[in-house]
A and B are shown apart, each in its own frame.
Chain A
């Protein structure tokens, strides 16, 4: 096998059994890698109905075919399984350094079941794989554990670590690589915590890869790397990070404010935008492995109530989720809140949106001081957010911490009083920092049909509506007007296939904007020897999307679940999108028809599955 190694590590933590398995090449050709391959393996061998936090649950880490290449954007990997936050299919993507190291060590992925008797670490040193005690680290924050693991295993070792939030099985606990790069969404930190798995460490002694056509790939690499680096968007993010154009997003109405109750806040735009972070708090940029974009931020806040030492800083999602979303325009506070979430191991998006919902509920009187045991929930009160709420969520302490640790959807069901109407989620996954009412109506459709729940990176719809995409080879030549429904369903059909390819190839969506469709094919063929043409590649993407939808169907998710909450579909109250209605039902109906999906079941019709080579899968749902 080329690119991919064809080998995965399979661990039963209950009995401490570790095996290396060879995967058939057909799995890769059909489902690509990353979250697609994870879905395939989960479908075939996972205990699909197992509670996500039970020993029977399967947790899958999976690389794409390009991990380890010296190519900007290729160092991501996927984690997948049943999400404890949503109860349905979940996957999350992480950049950084874990994926290449796992590839160099000789593996494409790790599958874990069972539960270790005591806190444990999985150590992978080339082919020497073992389970060690993590008792010295249990209860500790990710920053200190990362340092300890580096001391023990060496600076060149790479790790995935959970924090106390994962240990306590907070439903949106996340996993960090190198204490900086996040598997943020869907709560897989809690799954690791439920298995008593504090960390995974990987260390490879050499950095070689087997490539199908190394000469052809090198020519392609020499073409792509400079193009990625010199792209306007790359340069913008290199200089001012992923929040470089936050200010512009406020004017378009893309940036959510105060639990999606507002779409314009000029003063906040000028306070939180990326150039301000650069001027005030940035110490240096940093990058994922082999990436020239280097969009990562490192910050220090030298003085004031939110002082923090030099370390990982906030990206766009964190700046909005722990800033404007909760009514704050204090960038120093955002930096500290993000740092605290990182150390405790909490997804900043779900944390911010859940707190935002709680703040509105408190303002309305749906959550009372008795419910909060006296903790005030006031917009922009960052001292309370940082010093009280975030720690309480991570520790699941008190009535409020325990409530909010379940996520906004579950918390609202518990509170009742119609408070679910002003949550912001789809299928239980909180909406990220792009409001479709301003950012683009197609994003509303993308959020609703994404298998893992509301996700802006499952498909490149956000980028399509920005005008950042042009793929004539696969029929995407539209100039989309964001605040309309025109051509959105047609665009979504292309987006779901292409996005599934991106997330299965584990390629950064900032970098891959510079990769044309023929070049995608050439990458798969020169690196991994897939032997594809464009149609075969797009079919693989469609197949991945279909399979994730089938998994959700087994959880009882149907077309009725492809929705957004009422808050997300009410017309914006101010700003550029004020008063504009989203034709959500029209876009959804059109998408379903174009995708051959059953209008009630929400899954592809049997003939569509058979046409994708999924007759066996069809037999399980039809």
Chain B
């Protein structure tokens, strides 16, 4: 199935915005591992605009937006 991964902020350094082909039943956790985002970055994941945890299953056509809380002062 096809999903759209949309990085925000500094996640753009590690991931480009594009479509990904993933298998059915793929979870957020699996996606994060696939994208190889540094483990130090505490992620917030939004699927179609709604916040989801790592156990959530991604579905065909989902837009998955990845952000991190890292912030300057």
Contacts and interface: CB of A to CB of B under 8 A. Distances in A.
Contacts, number: 89
B51 A576 contact: yes
Interface residues of A, number: 39
Nearest to A468: B70
A249 B51 contact: no
Interface string B7-27: 011111100000000000000
Contact of B70 (A245, A269, A275, A456): A245
Contacts of B8: 247-248, 250-251, 269
A386 interface: no
Interface in B13-64: 13, 38, 40-42, 44, 46, 51
B28 to A, nearest CB: 15
A248 B45 CA distance: 11
A317 B73 contact: yes
Contact of B69 (A247, A457, A465): A465
Interface in A421-479: 432, 434, 439, 456-457, 462, 465-468
B29 to A, nearest CB: 16
Interface in A552-608: 576
Contacts of B44: 248, 251-252, 576
A242 B46 CA distance: 24
A245 B73 contact: no
Nearest to B9: A248
A265 to B, nearest CB: 13
A490 interface: no
A252 B69 contact: yes
A466 B69 contact: yes
Contacts of B12: 275
A509 B73 contact: yes
B10 A245 contact: yes
B64 to A, nearest CB: 13
Query: Chain B interface residue count: which class?
Result: 20 to 34
B73 A467 contact: no
Given A232-B40, A251-B44, A251-B65, A242 B70 contact: no
Contacts of B40: 232-233
Contact of B71 (A245, A275, A576): A245
A456 B73 CA distance: 7
Nearest to A480: B42
B72 A244 contact: yes
Given A245-B9, A248-B9, A251-B46, A236 B70 contact: yes
Contact of A248 (B38, B51, B70, B73): B70
A378 to B, nearest CB: 28
Most buried by B among A248, A252, A275, A316: A248
Contacts of A251: 8-9, 44, 46, 65, 67
A295 B72 CA distance: 10
A57 interface: no
Contacts of A232: 38, 40-41
B50 to A, nearest CB: 10
Contacts of A466: 42, 69-71
Contacts of B11: 248
Nearest to B73: A457
A568 to B, nearest CB: 18
Contacts of A457: 73
A532 interface: no
Contacts of A237: 72
A613 B54 CA distance: 48
A245 B73 CA distance: 11
Given A233-B70, A242-B72, 16 more contacts: A232-B40, A242-B73, A245-B68, A245-B71, A248-B11, A248-B67, A248-B69, A249-B71, A251-B9, A252-B44, A252-B69, A254-B69, A316-B71, A316-B72, A439-B71, A467-B69
Interface of B: 8-13, 38, 40-42, 44, 46, 51, 65, 67-73
26 contacts: A236-B13, A236-B70, A242-B72, A242-B73, A244-B70, A244-B72, A245-B9, A245-B68, A247-B8, A248-B9, A248-B44, A248-B68, A248-B69, A248-B70, A250-B8, A251-B8, A252-B67, A252-B69, A275-B12, A317-B72, A317-B73, A432-B73, A457-B73, A466-B71, A468-B70, A576-B44
Interface of A: 232-233, 236-237, 240-252, 254, 269, 273, 275, 295, 315-317, 432, 434, 439, 456-457, 462, 465-468, 482, 509-510, 576
